[in-house]
Amino acid sequence: MPAPGAPFIAGEWLPQSERMRPEFDAEYVQGYSEQVRFIAARVQKLVGVLLDRGRPAPAIVIVGDHGSARRLDLIDPAKTDMHERMSIFSAYYLPDSEGAALYPEISPINGARALAMRYLGADIAFLPEASLFSTFHRPYELVPMAR
């Protein structure tokens, strides 16, 4: 168990020998959970401040960049739990928008496009819903993942 107050380090930056320790899963879940609770409390407070400001009501978008790295292998995609890694948190508060073309499985890129169309009058099409993965050694070689 890390020392009290020690920073939680996301799994992708740990050497494989560290990730293979028997304690890793429990430590990772605890550290990740603590980060989620900390961020959730801060975001909840910020959203409250934004909503209390009155009119005009703000559009609020909260989007993560990726899911957990507990079962991530940066060298071999076949050893990665893609469902876990590709699970991305997205939350939208869009007043007076009647959904702004959002749908349950919308990706962050298409969520941004929906907002640009609704609020900025952009004339752009949605992209196919896809998740792409790359390894540490080949960051620009994008591998499509099943959805």
Q: What is the pLDDT of residues 78-109, one digit of tens each?
A: 888 888 888 888 998 888 766 567 888 888 88
Task: Give the residue extent of every domain in the chain.
Answer: 11-145
The pTM of this model reads 0.74
Asked if pLDDT for residue 6 goes beyond 50, the answer is no
The burial class, CB within 10 Å (0-12 / 13-18 / 19+), for 27 is middle
**Residue 1 CB burial class (10 angstroms; 0-12, 13-18, ≥19):** exposed
Q: How confident is the model at residue 16 (pLDDT cuts 50, 70, 90)?
A: confident
Give the whole-angstrom CA distance, residue 31 versus residue 9: 8
Grade residue 118 by pLDDT with cuts at 50, 70 and 90: confident
In order of 15, 50, 96, 105, the CA distances from 55 in angstroms are: 50, 10, 12, 30
